[in-house]
Structure 1
Amino acid sequence: MQSSMSRKGNCWDNACMENFFSHFKSECFYMNSFGTSEEVRGAVSMYIRFYNHHRFQKKLNNLSPYQYRTQVA
């Protein structure tokens, strides 16, 4: 993985992705060891599903992003 760089002096460009990658690294990547690139791909896919469908977020009234979007619609 390679971090992205925002415009000079503008830390808000990538704030949401930096937040996601911070959670991903601490909750998934650092807790596992991977032997192949397929294992990494599988872990990323599973974590994205977990993050969107099951992981509640305080800023979304303790709902997952999926639950929050379907509640509004």
Structure 2
Amino acid sequence: TYYYQVKRLAKPDKEKTIKDEIQSIYDYHKGNYGYRRIHLELRNRGFIINHKKVQRLMKELGLTARIRRKRKYASYKGEVGKKADNLIK
């Protein structure tokens, strides 16, 4: 196992260019892009890469998309108009 570990440590990073590109896309869009949109952007830039690999590399780099929470719908607008008089007394 020693030589196996030495070989793994000495191996150059084959995915360096892809990692740099993912990081630049992520930074340009201020962290709003997840792996799906980054994958599509990489395809637009000419990289042929699987979406699962993009997801794995983003996990390695520690990149996660910021989730924008939508506000819940509230139909109540307060006292609008006049109340009808109660004629049953």
Q: TM-score, normalised by structure 2?
A: 0.29
Q: Which structure is higher in RCO with an 8 Å CA cutoff and minimum separation 6?
A: 2
Structure with greater proportional helix content: 1
Q: TM-score, normalised by structure 1?
A: 0.33
Asked which structure has the greater CA Rg, the reply is 2
